[in-house]
Structure formats: C-alpha cells, structure tokens
C-alpha cells in the first residue's frame, strides 16, 4: 500500500490536503520537460531529481575549477609558491623546463582558462529548472 507521504506517488495533493486531478495544469508533475524560452534566456525543464544532481555537480565542478585556476595564477605570480616549485621540479625532471617568462605565461593563461571554464560550467548549470519548481513568471500560459 502506498501512503500520501511517498515521494513520487501517483496521487498528488494541494496545500490543503485535497487530491489534485491528474489532468490538472497546476500539478507540477504534469509540466512537460525540455527546452523553454524563459525570462533569463533558454532554460531546460527536467525532473526534480535530475535538477538537484545537475545543480550540485555543476556547482562543485565550478568551485574546483575556480580553485585550480586561482592556484595556477598564484603560482605564476609568486616565485616561491609550492605549486610552482612542484611544477618546475616535474618539468625539470622530464627535461622540458621552459624559460621563466614562458612558464609564467603558461601558468597564467592556464589559470585564467580554468576560471573561464568554471564560469561556463556554472552558467550552463543554472539554465536547468526542475519540474516541481513552478513555471516562470513571464510564461504566457500563466494567467
């Protein structure tokens, strides 16, 4: 037997506890999924579980790439950085140590690249909207 407390039960209830008909447009589970044009540009409506996963992992990926990017910029600007010392040691061990100016440029460009990548991942992650989040405010079907 399923109770009204099940997460994805086939019957949904409104805020007063009354059952909502399955063909009711106010039920967020009846909202179609897929790309939409919203107030902030394109958005993609997905099931709520997928929305939570996308939000968590895109934010985590953005934070990690920001951290790596700023660490590389720090290594490019500081001569005594632990990361820079490690990179110089590894490159020297491989026999491909570039001149100091080239190393600074490579580290700085790579750091900025990681920051831009993190920004792109975060922006793309914010384009998703869960089915159960309601419709956007400027949706013409909402009157």
Least confident of 3-7, 15-19, 60-64: 3-7
* Spans of all domains in the chain: 34-127
Question: Per-residue pLDDT tens for 67-95?
Answer: 999 999 999 998 888 999 999 999 999 99
Note the pLDDT of residue 3: 46
Question: Per-residue pLDDT tens for 6-55?
Answer: 444 556 666 666 655 555 555 555 556 666 665 555 778 888 889 999 99
- 134 falls in which pLDDT band (50, 70, 90)? low
- 128 falls in which pLDDT band (50, 70, 90)? confident
Note the pLDDT of residue 71: 96
Note the pLDDT of residue 100: 93
Note the pLDDT of residue 22: 57
Please check the confidence at residue 119 and state whether its pLDDT lies above 60: yes
Report the 3 state secondary structure along the chain: CCCCCCCCCCCEECCCCCEECCCCCCCHHHCCCEEEEECCEEEEEECHHHHHHHHHHHHHHHHHHHHHHHHHHHHHHCCCCHHHHHHHHHHHHHCCCCCHHHHHHHHHHHHHHHHHHHHHHHHHHCCEEEHHHCCCCCCCCCC
Note the pLDDT of residue 130: 83
């Amino acid at each position: 037997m399923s109770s009204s407390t099940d997460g994805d039960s086939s019957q949904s209830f409104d805020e007063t506890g009354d059952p909502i008909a399955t063909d009711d447009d106010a039920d967020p589970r009846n909202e179609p999924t897929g790309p939409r044009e919203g107030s902030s540009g394109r958005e993609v409506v997905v099931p709520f579980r997928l929305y939570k996963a996308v939000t968590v992992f895109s934010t985590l990926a953005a934070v990690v790439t920001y951290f790596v990017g700023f660490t590389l910029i720090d290594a490019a600007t500081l001569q005594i950085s632990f990361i820079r010392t490690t990179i110089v040691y590894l490159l020297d061990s491989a026999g491909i140590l570039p001149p100091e100016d080239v190393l600074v440029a490579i580290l700085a460009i790579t750091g900025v690249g990681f920051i831009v990548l993190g920004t792109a991942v975060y922006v793309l992650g914010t384009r998703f909207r869960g089915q159960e989040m309601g419709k956007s405010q400027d949706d013409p079907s909402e009157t």
